């Protein structure tokens, strides 16, 4: 048994390295395509861009916290190596309010990030567009300054001021939406003129420049809202406004709420954009319930790489092993580490959250089996509160059959991550998709009782 006592600051560093809401550093990335049904971002999203002569528009989705942003940042790096100019932004950081988002918000956010990323000094169609409408827009920017009196940087900064004020002030948000919706064709035209000018500018600087790619992340965090007698904001953005979203004269990747992909609107999305790409879970168990060793190895590697960034010496291999799996001395033994991995269900953010909760119960390393158990029970309680009484039987049947039907009951459970979806290719190279209940729910007595009744039928 290897025991190590660390200073509080080191324990805090380890805790922070498992931040569940931030993509990991590049050195902590783990390639999980072998346990995600072969899904790999440069193939699934990248090749359509690099092999197409015309601008492309792709939709990308997945469960919250499964690792979508991490993969998009890898795509950005890959495309930059291929000589594309990539503009990536997380829409909910500064531009849109996830609980109240509309098409106009997204279009203006795209405009803002493009004009900030590529500073055209000579002919800038977007600044001209803003100048022509400044009298009606300057109150949203909360300024009385004349647009012509601003420097280039000052003019560009007005786009950011407007999006910031929109996010903070609902009344201004509605006002700008009305103005943008009334001027959508002219804004899209100015945006495309800007993109063409920007591509000329980039080509002049580098003969190898292959064009512009816009990646709009975190749109999947938008809540679905609907006013009586009107389509939901999801339908309005992705279906009714699909022509506008696809009209941008550069390659674009939009994230999309998984609730749309797992719904009756899926065929409409495919008709308008081609089939949306969905990032699968990491498969840590097989459909027959046995452990998937490769999946567990990947989850362990996710942990070890983050620890190595803090203190490489903490990864010294111990004598103890569990099923041949080495474990770092941050944990008291391999069973503790494996249990946390299994209880995550192959969901990366859940794993990060479980480890942080276990560290909450830890005063000095190593993290013990007892601390891990406390973390698991606390997280299990959250899932128990999430499941409604009418949903226990649906969960039990899905667990028994290892599949989810395409109805509202199953879709809601997938959306809430009570059901998890996995993919793999069988020995005949056929794609197999299957579902199971989240492992944390499996340990709830109410679920076990209902599952026993379902199996008895």
**What does the alpha-carbon distance between residue 421 and residue 128 come to, in Å, rounded to a whole number?**
48
What confidence score (pLDDT) does residue 315 get?
Answer: 59
φ, ψ dihedrals at 141, nearest 5°: -80, -5
- Residue 229 dihedral angles phi and psi, to the nearest 5°: 80, 5
The two structure tokens encoding residue 433: 């998709």
CA–CA distance, 415 with 259 (Å, rounded to integer): 6
- pLDDT classification of 8: cutoffs 50, 70, 90: low
Residues 119/152, Cβ–Cβ less than 8 Å = yes
Q: Is 80 exceeded by the pLDDT of residue 340? A: yes
Q: Report the distance separating Cα 429 and Cα 272, nearest Å.
A: 29
Q: Give which of 29, 111, 108 is closest to 67, Cα–Cα.
A: 29
CA distances to 76, 81, 203 from 207, rounded to whole Å, are 20, 14, 5
Split at pLDDT 50, 70, 90, the class of 430 is very high
| Backbone CA torsion sign across 63, 64, 66, 67 | positive
* CA dist., res. 383 & res. 425, Å (int): 30
222: which 2 tokens? 């938008």
Beta carbons within 8 Å of 319's beta carbon, 6+ residues apart:
none
Kindly tell me if the per-residue pLDDT of 54 is higher than 60. Answer: yes
Rounded to whole angstroms, the Cα distance separating 91 from 124 reads 23
DSSP 44: I
How far apart (Å, rounded) are the C-alpha atoms in residues 100 and 18?
Answer: 30
Q: Are 440 and 351 in contact (CB under 8 A)?
A: no
Helix/strand/coil for 354:
helix
How do residues 89-146 score in pLDDT, each as one tens digit?
Answer: 999 998 999 999 999 999 999 999 999 999 988 889 999 999 999 988 888 887 888 8
**pLDDT in the model for residue 144:** 80
327 confidence band (pLDDT: 50, 70, 90): low
DSSP state of 260: H
Spatial contact of 100 and 173, defined as CB atoms under 8 Å apart: yes
What would you report as the CA-atom Rg of the chain, rounded to the nearest whole angstrom?
24
Q: What is the pTM of this model?
A: 0.90
CA–CA gap between residue 397 and residue 437 (Å, rounded): 10
Q: How far apart are CA 100 and CA 277, in angstroms?
A: 25
- Determine what percent of the chain is predicted with pLDDT higher than 70: 95
More confident residue, 166 or 293: 293
Beta strands per DSSP E along 233-331? 251-255, 277-279
Q: How far is it, in rounded angstroms, from Cα 291 to Cα 235? A: 40
The per-residue pLDDT for 169 is 83
pLDDT at residue number 326: 55
Among residues 407, 348, 435, the alpha carbon closest in space to that of 28 is found at 348
Residue by residue, DSSP assigns 153-212 as HHHHHHHHHHHHHHHH-HHHHHHHHHHHHHTHHHHHHHHHHHHHHHHHHHHHH-TT---E
Q: Which residue has the tokens 């900030």?
A: 116
């Amino acid at each position: 048994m290897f025991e190590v006592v660390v200073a509080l600051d080191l324990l805090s560093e380890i805790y922070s390295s498992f931040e569940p809401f931030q993509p990991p550093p590049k050195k902590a990335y783990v390639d999980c395509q072998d346990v995600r049904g072969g899904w790999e971002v440069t193939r699934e999203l990248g090749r359509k861009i690099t092999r197409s002569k015309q601008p492309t528009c792709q939709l990308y989705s997945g469960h919250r916290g499964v690792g979508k942003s991490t993969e998009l940042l890898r795509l950005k790096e890959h495309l930059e190596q291929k000589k594309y100019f990539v503009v990536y932004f997380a829409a909910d950081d500064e531009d849109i309010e996830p609980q109240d988002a509309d098409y106009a918000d997204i279009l203006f956010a795209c405009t803002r990030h493009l004009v900030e990323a590529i500073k055209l000094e000579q002919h800038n169609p977007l600044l001209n567009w803003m100048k022509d409408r400044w009298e009606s827009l300057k109150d949203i920017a909360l300024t009385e300054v004349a647009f012509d009196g601003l420097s280039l940087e000052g003019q560009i900064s007005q786009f950011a001021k407007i999006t910031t004020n929109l996010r903070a002030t609902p009344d201004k948000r509605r006002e700008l939406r009305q103005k943008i919706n009334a001027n959508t064709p002219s804004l899209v035209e100015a945006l495309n003129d800007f993109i063409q000018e920007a591509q000329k500018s980039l080509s002049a600087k580098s003969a190898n420049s292959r064009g512009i790619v816009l990646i709009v992340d975190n749109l999947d965090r938008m809540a679905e809202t609907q006013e009586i007698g009107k389509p939901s904001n999801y339908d309005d953005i992705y279906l009714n406004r699909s022509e506008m979203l696809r009209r941008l004269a550069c390659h674009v990747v939009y994230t999309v709420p998984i609730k749309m992909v797992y719904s009756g609107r899926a065929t409409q999305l495919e008709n308008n954009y081609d089939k949306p790409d969905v990032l699968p879970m990491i498969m840590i168990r097989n459909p027959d319930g046995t452990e998937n060793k490769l999946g567990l190895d990947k989850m362990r590697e996710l942990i070890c790489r983050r620890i190595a960034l803090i203190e490489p010496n903490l990864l010294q291999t111990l004598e103890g092993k569990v099923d041949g799996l080495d474990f770092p001395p941050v944990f008291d033994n391999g069973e503790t580490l494996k249990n946390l991995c299994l209880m995550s269900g192959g969901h990366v953010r859940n794993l990060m959250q479980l480890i942080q909760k276990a560290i909450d119960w830890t005063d000095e390393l190593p993290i013990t089996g007892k601390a891990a158990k406390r973390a698991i029970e606390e997280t299990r309680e959250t899932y128990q509160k999430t499941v409604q009484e009418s949903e226990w039987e649906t969960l039990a049947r899905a667990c028994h059959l290892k599949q989810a039907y395409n109805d509202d009951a199953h879709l809601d459970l997938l959306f809430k991550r009570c059901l998890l979806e996995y993919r793999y290719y069988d020995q005949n190279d056929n794609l197999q998709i299957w579902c199971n209940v989240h492992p944390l729910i499996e340990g709830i007595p109410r679920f076990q009782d209902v599952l026993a009744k379902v199996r008895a039928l």
